[in-house]
Structure 1
Amino acid sequence: MAEQEYDYDLFVIGAGSGGVRASRIASSHGARVAVAEEYRVGGTCVIRGCVPKKLLVYGSHFAEELQDAANYGWTVDKMNFDWPTLRDAVNKDVDRLNAAYTSTLENNKVERFLERATITGPHSVKLADSGREITAKYILVATGAWPVTPTFEGAEHCITSNEVFHLPELPRKVIIAGAGYIALEFAGIFNALGSHVTVVNRSETLLRGYDETLRDRLLQITMARGIEYKFNCPFEKVVKREDGCMEAYLKNQPDPIVADVILVATGRKPKVEGLGLENAGVELGERGEIKVDEHNRTSCDSIYAVGDVTDRVQLTPVAIREGQAFADRVFGGIERKVDYDCIPSAVFSQPPLAAVGLTEGQARNRYGNVKVYSSDFRPMKNVFGHRPERGLYKMVVDANTDKVLGIHMIGPEAPEILQAAAVAVKAGLTKAAFDDTVALHPSMAEELVLLK
């Protein structure tokens, strides 16, 4: 019996980093590929996530750099900041990236449908605007994640990370709900730009999953920079006043906190609502994530999923690798799986922190006998800035084998330095290998080979 004919070999729902990579690679293997995207090509990271946010971080750094300039002999007159100029420049670059991702799909002969697609069966989807029914041998879901929205009274007056890039003006006072990486990155941005920032968290923990020593150091530094924290204070309600300001009523706080903007950054959840997954028998997990096997296949053999929608590791480079592995295996005959061990990560707070491998606590639970080496130092660039802030590098080592199990860093340019160090941890190098490497002086990175 002849194989059934489909409109496409692969239909991808979602043109973010994972979806675009899978589309491009599948097409390079000779597959007929189409992708549907209801918003803009590029996905969360490019359009309303890590890329525009990092540009805001860069913009906010100038407040500190310009203040330090006088100590280096520079005269800087009339230091004024204009939020619309930075905001518009960032959004203009988002436009550029959207066009670049679109060109990537065009150049790889991937057909694009700029409308929502829903699954109607194991091999079929329906486009929302045109109503067209399309068939495909395989369907890949790469719709990413979406900000978790709160349920307290007045939550509709708050914004999420989706809207923060389009604020009409710089708020004088900002309340940020949450204490994860998104919350602390925006806290650093607005604090540096001159806003008064209050971070409100329902628990007493910030940056869950990162090494406790680094978390404590970041808390100390950011409090010294003027960021206020309210721990164990869940939101009870938000009231919008006639003047446009917001009053946030918190549990365990006698008086409301007033702000111009309340940014909710309490996590992200897989974006699966309305996808029609039930029409193909695709199973979801407890957190609403699409359940997949080691090859990213769902409970329906013809449907796969990659990226944040699977809620395994919500990082853009992971989604890209998953998309590539899927396309290579299904359309290229190349057996490939993603290795989730020793994935480096960073928080672009101010100062930033970065980590790879096991924290001290995780290492002690798993290995028992571990050694910890550290360097607590004042970065050279802080000397002329008259800032007492200190960097902290920490290495966790298996005491029995001398193998490096984890590296954790906080300080200027920590993410840039950690990327190379992550290669060493991934390769299973020992503390002795670091000790045997000659230091690159003067640099902050040299602390990694001088740890005691």
Structure 2
Amino acid sequence: MEFDYDLFVIGGGSGGVRAARLTAMDGNRVALAESSRMGGTCVIRGCVPKKLMVFASEYPEAIHLGRDYGWDASVGTFDWKTFRTRLHSELDRLEEVYRENLEKAGVEIFDHRAVLKDPHTVELADGTTKTAKHILVATGGRPNLPDIKNADLGVVSDDLFHLDAIPKKMLIVGGGYIGCEFAGVFNGLGAEVSMFIRGAQILRGFDEEARGHVGDCMVRRGITIHTGCAPVEIEKRGDRIWVKGSNGHADEFDCLLWAVGRSPNTGEMGLEEAGVELDRKGTICVDEYGQTSVPSIFALGDVIGKMELTPVAIREAIAFHKTVFQGEKTQMDYDFIPTAIFTQPEMGTVGLTEEEAEAQESTLVYATAFRPMQQAFAGGEERVLFKMLVSKETDKVLGVHIVGPQSGEMIQYVGILLKMGATKADFDRTCAVHPTMAEELVTLKEPVRTLA
């Protein structure tokens, strides 16, 4: 059978774009359909605009610190509309770069929603159909809204970059990385921020000690965290939103942000009708090569529910391209993937948590918390945390967790070392860079505890 394309990609996020570009650059006929903006969640409504907002929110603290260092400086008013205009200009620029790179590679772009009709056919929103030898689903995810009356009075993370003004008083429901990152952002931009979280601590799934350290710092910075609490009643009261929590606390807010998880964009796409297996959450089931239950259909990124991170989707795209179009069967390696949570303070993490290490083998825990030089000089009390988990038997480093300024930058390089199988002895025989915070990684001498 003669197909219109060798590959048809549904979804113009980082993973789909990378797969399309690489495949087209090999001389294959490739098309890509995107119903929204090119660049997907990360570029348009996720990592990039969020990180720019993090930068914006950190300037007040930097200005206060500068004053302690002798600078004649003061914190003025934040002009949200000026920032927002520049933010959207930057997103427009990045979207155009994505589009231009696809076109240069020879990818045909359809600015339409696409759904599956059969294992080799997609139908575009304008009614036209296209056939392809292989179809790749990379449609990403979307924020969840809870099933509670008046939930629509709140907003989700996608909406935050379009607000008319910074809210004076804000409630964030959810203690995952999205909720915690935006709590820091809006706190830094001058909002009074409260959080409702179901658990006893923020950042479920991360190292207990590290996430506890972040939570304590957030509270000291003025964020109110109600643990074991979920909204039970929501009402519109004039221009404000009244929310009552399951712990009995009730208050009015200018903005209610739902940060209660994300779901894969797999609904009404014709996936099951085409024979693609989904799990109960709507996640696409794939094998170790990203292949679905239909041999001609593959999937990657947030829709397969592995690790929902942009760099992971890009690496999955590279593995897909090698496997399907270069004849080199390549599995995605999910071990020792470093990541940063852009809370304030920031957290970088790679490898096992203490809890995971303890369940796996006998482990030595090295940890230290101290006031960094820059803050200590100005009388600051906030401490940074460095933590390393080491196999007692092999001396291999199993995990590293850092909480403090620029921890995301540090953890990138630590990730390389752990991927190479570095031991504690390798860290110990490396000379320190002084004076830096990062030198603690090579000066941790005695374990603080041993996990049996």
Q: What interval of TM-score do these two structures reach, taking the shorter chain for normalisation?
A: over 0.9
Aligned counterpart for 1:444 among listed residues 437, 443, 450: 437
Cα contact 1:246–1:262 (8 A) shared by 2: yes
Alignment-derived partner of residue 219 in structure 1:
215
Please state if 1:392 is matched with 2:388.
no
Q: Which residue of 2 aligns with 1:190?
A: 186
Are 1:33 and 2:27 counterparts?
no
> What is aligned with 2:268?
274
What aligned pairs does 1:12-411 form with structure 2 within 5 A after superposition?
Answer: 12-77=9-74, 79-128=76-125, 130-242=126-238, 244-253=239-248, 255-367=249-361, 369-411=362-404
Contact 1:154 1:238 in 2 (8 A): yes
1:381 alignment partner AA: Q
CA distance in 2, matches of 1:287, 1:225: 36
Distance in 1, Cα, partners of 2:75 & 2:124: 54
Shift of 1:78: 6.2
CA offset at residue 77 of structure 1?
4.8
The residue type paired with residue 89 of structure 2 is: K
The CA distance in 1 between the partners of 2:434 and 2:305, in whole Å, is: 41
1:413 matched residue in structure 2:
406
What do the CA deviations read for 1:40-76 (whole angstroms, capped 9, x no partner)?
Answer: 0001000000111000001111010111111222212
Residue pair 2:14, 2:39 contacting (<8 A) in 1 also: yes
Deviations 1:108-139 (A, max 9, x none): 010001110011111011111x2101111111
Going from structure 1 to structure 2, the CA distance change for 1:166 and 1:192 (only over 3 Å counts) comes to: same
Cα contact 1:142–1:306 (8 A) shared by 2: yes
Instruction: Give the TM-score, by structure 1 length.
Output: 0.97
Q: CA distance change for structure 1 residues 348 and 77 in 2, over 3 Å: closer, same or farther?
A: closer
- Higher mean alpha-carbon deviation, 331-340 vs 355-364, is at 331-340
Mapped to 2, the partners of 1:291 and 1:205 lie a distance apart of 31
Q: Secondary structure at the match of 1:163?
A: helix
Runs of 4+ displaced beyond 6 Å? none
Is the contact made by 1:379 and 1:412 (CA closer than 8 Å) also made in structure 2? no
Q: For the residues of structure 2 that align with 1:16 and 1:384, how far apart are their CA atoms?
A: 44
Cα distance in structure 2, aligned partners of 1:148 and 1:344? 26
CA contact (8 A) 1:297 1:305 kept: yes
What amino acid is the match of 2:241? M
Q: In 1, Cα distance between the equivalents of 2:111 and 2:67?
A: 51
Query: Can you give the 5+ residue segments of structure 2 that lack an aligned partner in the other structure?
Result: 446-452
Q: Cα–Cα, structure 1 residues 295 and 78, in superposed 2: closer, same or farther, change >3 Å?
A: closer
Secondary structure in 1 matching 2:348: strand
What are the Cα deviations for residues 151-197 of structure 1, in whole angstroms up to 9, with x where unaligned?
11110110000101110001000100100000000000001111000
Q: Which moved more, 1:201-210 or 1:355-364?
A: 201-210
- 1:430 is matched with 423
Segment of structure 1 superposing worse, 291-300 or 275-284 = 275-284
Number of residue pairs matched by the alignment:
445
Partner of 2:450: none
The whole-number CA distance in structure 2 between the counterparts of 1:355 and 1:366 is: 18
Q: Secondary structure at the match of 1:363?
A: helix
What is the letter of the counterpart of residue 39 of structure 1? S
Match of 2:449 in 1: none
Looking at structure 2, the residues matched to 15 and 114 of structure 1 have their Cα atoms a distance apart, in angstroms, of 10
> What is the distance in 2 between the residues matched to 1:53 and 1:384?
30
Deviation readout 1:96-119 (Å, 9 max, x if unpaired):
110110011011010001110011
**Do the aligned partners of 2:234 and 2:243 also contact (CA within 8 Å) in 1?**
yes
- Code of the residue aligned with 1:56 in structure 2: it is M
1:256: how far off? Answer: 1.9
In 1, the alpha carbon distance for the partners of 2:374 and 2:23 equals: 47
Report the Cα offset of residue 252 of structure 1.
2.1
Report how far residue 202 of structure 1 moved: 2.0
Whole-angstrom CA distance in 1 between matches of 2:267 and 2:408: 34
Gaps of 5+ in 1: none
- What secondary structure sits across from 1:308 in the alignment? helix
On the 8 A contact 2:121/2:130 being kept in 1, the answer is yes
Paired residues of 1:25 and 1:328 also in contact (CA < 8 A): no
Secondary structure of the residue aligned to 1:162 is helix
Q: Could you say if the C-alpha distance between residues 443 and 195 of structure 1 is closer, same or farther in structure 2, counting changes exceeding 3 Å?
A: same
SS at match of 2:356: helix
